[in-house]
Amino acid sequence: MIQNQIKFGWKAILWGKKRPFVFLFLLIVGVISPITPVNGTIGKPKWGFWAHQRINRLAIFTLPPEMLIFFKKHADYITENAVNPDKRRYAVAGEAARHYIDLEAYGDSAAYKLPLYWQEAVQKYGEDTLALNGVVPWAIQQYKSRLTEAFRQRDPRRILRLSADLGHYIADANVPLHTTHNYNGQLTGQEGIHAFWESRLPELFADNYDGFVGAATYESKVAKRAWQAVQQANAALDSVLRFERELSSRLPANQKYALEDRNGIVIKTYSREFSARYHQMLSQQVERQFRASAKMIGDFWFTCWVDAGQPDLTPLGNFSLTETDQQEAITEKQSWLKKLFTARSEGEN
């Protein structure tokens, strides 16, 4: 039961940055608004981490045959583990900050003015300030370097793990609500919009998205590309908030929300009509960001491999995780859950 609650909660509301207690409270009392289980229990959703997983999988098929030989074999691993960074969000120090950047903290046009590179940013603002306001564009660069190194070492475990992680951060950087302090519409009376935009909408409509995003291409300006993703995501933020507000003012609440059966559990969620109209108003914005994420992930994986000297991955093609590897992964994931429940309020204010 707890396990199922956690699985549901991650995607539904876990957009707070330092709110493990709020999160736990919501789980315990079963109040996850606006996606609320009517009978007080929460079931495992079919779509929990759906978008991240779908994006990572899509990215695999942008790769050239020399990489596909390895990545395709481990497509399930890279897909399933696309969501690890969210799962360990409160369990691993420094993790939460890697998923977002609150641009408002740095004034006007911050996405164009902030230092491209981490060291410069640290010199200018200090690590504490940066960690407080999120570090996603720099995290992408850091994980790009780590993955390049893993390719150099021809270390299949690290390649898999870091590819899955890097895919997650890149996808996050492409989400408009990951670039703002108003990440869940909480400052504008639009609570719930985060999961609405990046879970509910893809769940309903991504089957119609164009899955061909082209072949991965080499990215010579990694830092710049990471920032471009943030700039483009942030440029879309105004529409994300404005259209939801406009549509909400036109539709009564009983048409905005609906009760849906999810694996035998009745939950309150955004109605299909509201979702369809909002999705249409956004004019393929979700699809654009979805596809841009997959393409960028493919480009970055490919670039890491090229920068590592294009190692022959054929010998790694036969690699498979041992039972010990798999058991260790399970134990690690359980420890993330455990730490979530024993989280202390350090950093809360």
Q: 86 vs 307, which CB is nearer to Zn ion?
A: 86
Closest residue to Zn ion, Cβ-based?
Answer: 99
**Complex with Zn ion: residue 52 or 295, whichever CB lies closer:** 52
Q: Which stretch binds Zn ion (CB under 5 A): 37-45, 142-150, 166-174, 205-213?
A: 166-174
- Tell the smallest beta-carbon distance from residue 178 to Zn ion (Å): 7
Output the smallest distance, CB 181 to Zn ion, in A: 16
**Distance of closest approach, residue 177 Cβ to Zn ion, in angstroms:** 11
Question: Residue 174 or residue 231: which is nearer to Zn ion going by CB?
Answer: 174
Give the other-Cβ count within 10 Å of 38's Cβ.
Answer: 13
Residues 34-93 that bind Zn ion (CB under 5 A): 86
Q: Which of residues 98-117 bind Zn ion (CB under 5 A)?
A: 99
- Show the binding pattern over residues 118-157: x = contacts Zn ion (CB under 5 A), - = does not: ----------------------------------------
Smallest gap from residue 90 Cβ to Zn ion (A): 12
Here's the x/- map for Zn ion, 171-200, by CB under 5 A: it reads as: -x----------------------------
Minimum Å gap between C-beta 307 and Zn ion is 25
115 backbone φψ class: left, alpha, beta (φ>0; ψ -120 to 50): beta
Nearer to Zn ion, 7 or 99 (CB): 99
Q: How far is the CB of 223 from Zn ion (least distance, A)?
A: 20
Q: Give me the least distance between CB of 98 and Zn ion, in Å please.
A: 8
Do 140 and 226 meet the contact criterion of CB atoms below 8 Å apart? yes
Closer to Zn ion by Cβ: residue 162 or 265: 162
Residue among 172 and 307 whose Cβ is closer to Zn ion:
172
Number of residues that bind Zn ion (CB under 5 A): 3
User: b/e string for 47-73 if b means 16 or more Cβ within 10 A?
Assistant: bbbbbbbbbbbbbbbbbeeebbbbbee
Show contacts with Zn ion in window 228-247 (CB under 5 A): none
CB of 86 to Zn ion, least distance (A): 5
Residue 165 or 172 having the CB closest to Zn ion? 172
Nearer to Zn ion, 194 or 225 (CB): 194
Q: Are 9 and 26 in contact (CB under 8 A)?
A: yes
Binding site for Zn ion (CB under 5 A): 86, 99, 172
